[in-house]
Chains A and B, each alone.
Chain A
Amino acid sequence: MTRMNRRTLLKTAGSVAGMAAASSVIGTPLIAQERSLKIGSYGGYFENSFKEFVYPAFTEATGIAVESVTQPNSTDWLVTMTQATQAGNVPADLSLYARDTMIKASRIGGLLAPLNTKAMPATSNLDPYFVFEDTTGPIGVGAMSWFSAMVINPEEVEAPTSWAEFWDSSKFEASLGLSKNFNSQFLDIIAATFFEGEATFATKDGIMALIEKAAEIKPNVALWWSAESQMEQSMKNGDVIGGQYYLDVSNLMALDGFPIKPIFPKEGNPQDYGSWCLSSISDKGDEAAEFINFSSDPATQALMSRKIGTAPLVAQSKTDLTDDEFAFVSGTPSIKPAYEAYLDYETFIKESWDKMLAGA
């Protein structure tokens, strides 16, 4: 961010005032006459990679300056954006929404502006599934995707070939780390492993069957994590020797020498993705369109895969990613989460899941 601002500043204003402002972290007032865009992304490593690799490339290509905004995640961000929209002043023009949050935002209404896909020819590279339309038009275009994969500690156990092996207490007693969150896609894994996949979510009885299956794994779970860092620490410390965790972070941890190995079992891993969504009260529609167009370009998708570790939303053949690079961020088969069911039966699934966890 600092570096980028300094570059644009030196280009536009070589004055003493400009130099003085360049030494401060944010020189926004001076570049106000330029085109700019505020973009939100999940804080930490993710946002830092965006600031270091993606935004500078975009600014170079279009001359539009990017101000990075930290999002805690997508659900908390939806609360923030709902309140900010009511107050009439939003912290970011474009932000990242996971698909379920985006559908939720669409159902709440009045939060997201329809996008002008004609101004984004590069979106044709994406599978239509990744351009989400509601009654107002296209409101989200896929940015990048990520897998939450099966992980194990290769020093302690052999790689399972199926998720079903996690239910085996002779191997995994009190040793797994799973997400505590009802919609963290563990139910989708169960549906794919033991039932009929997404179709099982169609009825309450089907959902109850999934949750009852989840109850059977409880003796093997040492950690029901609510924050990503809990699982990261527990894998590093050997408090757990397997579980469900993000593919990209697992690969990065493995590169750093920690005993973690992501695996694609025969049922696959759940694939989720983030979309760029434009705030309904932003006046930066044109700039946002340029950024989404840039982000949908296969070259940018490859750049994100290499530098951030996300799976590309375009076919591997369209990018210059090698097989090794592709395998680092993606894999098959992919389990598509039952997004709509999680929203239609929201209270029911949440309470039944919590009851299962609490044994109440």
Chain B
Amino acid sequence: MEYFFQQLINGLTLGSIYGLIAIGYTMVYGIIGMINFAHGDIFMIGAFISLAMFLVLTTVLGFAFLPVVLLLVLIVAMLFTSAWGWAVERVAYRPLRGSFRLAPLITAIGMSIVLQNFVQITQGARVKPLPPQIPGGITLFQGSTEAGTIVVQLSYMQIIIIVTTVVLMAAFTLIINRTSLGRAQRACEQDRKMAALLGVDVDRTISLTFVMGAALAAVAGFMFLLLYGVIDFYIGFLAGVKAFTAAVLGGIGSLPGAMLGGLLIGLIEVFWSGYFSVEYKDVAAFSILAIVLIFLPSGLLGRPEVEKV
């Protein structure tokens, strides 16, 4: 039982990270109907910027007060990663707006390759370890089994991740539902041509969607760095694929769906590793995806599609 709770907490933490990345996929898919394959690598870029900024602040500039350092790192990472998100859209997707469905997918895959290799060349292929920065946590309860005592702990790190995710989710829901940007986004989702005719700046709206998605991915990258303490240029691929899985699982185009899908994928992965085998955790996540799609093609919270004849 204690083990179960610990896994639950771990799963929710990992799921929050997937959920934040998944929102980027789901927003982009919602508005221009393409799989932004490079989004996982934007997450990786976010993690690298976080790492570099953290080192600049602590070792070069000698900042010591951790909360301020972390806040600064987060803000800088969000800003710079957003610039990357914007640039990727501008270079690889905008010229192909209104083109055939496969063309942007290919440029997206190309961009993913470019980003991975760019980081590999400039930062090296070896993993970058960062020692845990926020030690400690709250011990929820202790139990003893035959194997010894088991402690269920909610670390401060996990609290930060879950709280940040909840706050960001709330903020994003507000943006989408209440602001004119959100309205423009939803209009573009429905009908881009009509939105343009009614004076919505479609290009700007799409750019901002990429920027917002990248900012969230940066948060995810930052949290991934703090949680696991190890990053390399390749983390974006698997995280990206799983986050996309999460977006599809939750129902692509739906923000709460992306979050829910992220949490589910995180839980599935953690529980599978905890109870069955670590090696096949990815297989479990992907199999769930296939099963859900086959029986519930529009995902958990997606709108069911009625085939137009």
A binds B: no
